[in-house]
Amino acid sequence: MKTMMNETPNEISTTNSRGNNTMKKFTKLFKNQKGLTLIELLAVIVILAIVAAIAVPAIGGIISNSKDKAILAGATTIIAGAKLAYTSGDCKGSSTGAVAPAIGDAVCDGLELAPYVDGITLTAGDYVTKANWTLTWAGLTGFSSTTSKYYFPTTTQTEQAILGKLNQ
């Protein structure tokens, strides 16, 4: 291995058999690198702003749709709980007197349904009747807006209407 008077030990060790110094070439390349220009930084910021302007409203719509579908899923859970309570014989009619059942119709009020629907808050004014499995639930007013495609104008709906909206 050749050594020259002005080379440091590191430069000597990186010299190959042809006498080329690869380390010097790399350091020369890195010294020529410049930072980003102001125009390049502005271009990146503008692109990020455009992506954010498109993504934020889309995410907001997804969130409101998921909240609306959660209300409908809660309604179907209440109806499923009412079917289970009816089958178990726990629907004794309106225990609060707020609901007058039709002749031969079973009514499960919110207090009777509470053990069958976990995680959903029901009051005595909420009830399900067996006729077409009709649900009256204050939660049906909790949609994100009255223009939502899942919105119901009243708090009383049949199971078919709820499932129809849920499958939209």
> For the segment 87-121, what is each residue's pLDDT rounded down to a tens digit?
888 887 654 445 555 555 678 888 888 899 988 88
In this prediction, residues 47-54 reach a mean pLDDT of: 95
pTM of the complete model: 0.64
69 and 163 in contact (C-beta within 8 Å)? Answer: no
Across the range 47-71, mean pLDDT stands at 91
Neighbours of 107 (CB within 10 A): 24
Distances (CA, A) of 124 to 129, 150, 153, 155, 160: 14, 25, 21, 14, 23
Distance CA 52, CA 17 (A): 55
Q: Return the beta strands (E) in the chain as ranges.
A: 107-109, 127-129, 134-136, 156-158
Three-state DSSP state, 72: helix
